[in-house]
Amino acid sequence: MLSFTQVSHHFGTRTLFRELTLSLPESRVVLTGANGSGKTTLLLIAAGILPPSQGVVSFNQLNVADISLRRQIGISASKVNLPGFFTVTDMLAFHGRQFNCVPDCLWADYRWVNAFGLTPFLNTRVEDLSLGNYKKLSLILALMHSPELLLLDEPTNGLDDKTRSALEECFETYAGQLIIASHEPQVFASNCSVRHLHLDASGVHDR
């Protein structure tokens, strides 16, 4: 379960969250909100990669800032800049090694690479990938180590129909907690036990 306790966050003089206390026991959560409302920031804070100005975020009673929790969390967000000078293969190999999850097969035969249709781009540099292919790579990196908490920022942006279908299939079968920030509230169309949260200037509200 992901929980926020008295979390506040400011960018300069602008306050994004003020003493936010929130528990998310649901396995599927969708965050909606206008541009700049703080959806991505909330995900970065939840992943433990952006320390909040105040407060604590924990996952299964452990502070997300704890390094040991990184293996349990996967994040895909446009703000998480990937090393552009790596080829896709280098990037996957590097990431797999860091999380001890290098598959036994070739990258071309790897489950997610195949499902997302990234095989033709394995030798392409990350900085040369199109928006959609960059998103696919980012999603694969988030999924690779089978995290218990998956945080996805606009996961369907720029994806083709085939990849969208593969992603929806993934959402349906994914065993851990899945939190998605999206402008598309129907991202979990076939799943009824979804909690919808809306972010605006006054805070986070159930919808």
Contact set with other proteins (CB under 8 A): 44, 47-50, 67-68, 70-71, 73, 75, 77, 79-83, 85-86, 90, 93-95, 97-99, 125
Q: Residue 87 forms beta bridges with which residues? A: 125
CB nearer to other proteins: give 61 or 123.
Answer: 123
Q: Residue 181 forms beta bridges with which residues? A: 31, 153
CB nearer to other proteins: give 77 or 188.
Answer: 77
Q: Report the nearest approach of other proteins to the CB of residue 134 (Å).
A: 13
Q: From 38, 45, 140, select the one nearest 91 (Cα to Cα).
A: 140
CB nearer to other proteins: give 3 or 41.
Answer: 41
In this structure, the number of other CB atoms found within 10 A of the CB of residue 165 comes to 12
CB nearer to other proteins: give 41 or 163.
Answer: 41
H, E, C per residue of 68-117: HHHHHEEEECCCCCCCCCCEHHHHHHHHHHHCCCCCCCCHHHCHHHHHCC
CB 37 within 8 A of CB 200: yes
Q: Report the nearest approach of other proteins to the CB of residue 99 (Å).
A: 7
Q: Which amino acid is at 183?
A: H
CB nearer to other proteins: give 150 or 188.
Answer: 150
Q: Residue 151 forms beta bridges with which residues? A: 75, 179
Q: Report the nearest approach of other proteins to the CB of residue 75 (Å).
A: 6
Q: Report the nearest approach of other proteins to the CB of residue 126 (Å).
A: 11
Q: Report the nearest approach of other proteins to the CB of residue 46 (Å).
A: 12
The string of DSSP codes covering 13-39 is TEEEEEEEEEEE-SSEEEEEE-TTSSH
